[in-house]
Amino acid sequence: MPGTARAHTVESLRTWLTEHIADYVNLPVEDIDPTVPLVDYGLDSVSALNVSANIEDHLGITVDATVMWDNETVEALGTALMAEVEKASAEG
């Protein structure tokens, strides 16, 4: 996949993830704590794959299918995704 044209920061990714996950689990954004494991909001392996696909579409990069299990909070996931965005940009 080509690199993303959008400029991202860790904070913008965490905000997008929080909004996306809140929408996915039908909770208000303010109920999503970035330090709480995503499984606590009811995300299972099927929903994690769906969210991962949406992440790929949003960022324009390919992410490992296990990215959400390896980084189980919004905070950790945002940091990991930022590293992937930077890596993809460097590879150009």
Distance CA 56, CA 66 (A): 13
Which is nearest to 78 in space by CA: 49, 35, 26, 41?
35
User: DSSP secondary-structure letter at 85?
Assistant: H
Structure confidence at residue 21 (pLDDT): 95
- Specify whether the CB–CB gap between 77 and 71 falls below 8 A: yes
Report pTM: 0.86
Query: Can you read off the two tokens belonging to residue 46?
Result: 């099927």
Tens of pLDDT, residues 10-54: 999 999 999 999 999 999 999 999 999 999 999 988 989 999 999
For the chain, list the domains and their CATH numbers: 10-91 (1.10.1200.10)
Name the burial class of residue 34, with classes exposed (0-12), middle (13-18) and buried (19+) by CB atoms within 10 angstroms of its CB: middle
The pLDDT tens digits for 57-71 are 999 999 998 999 999
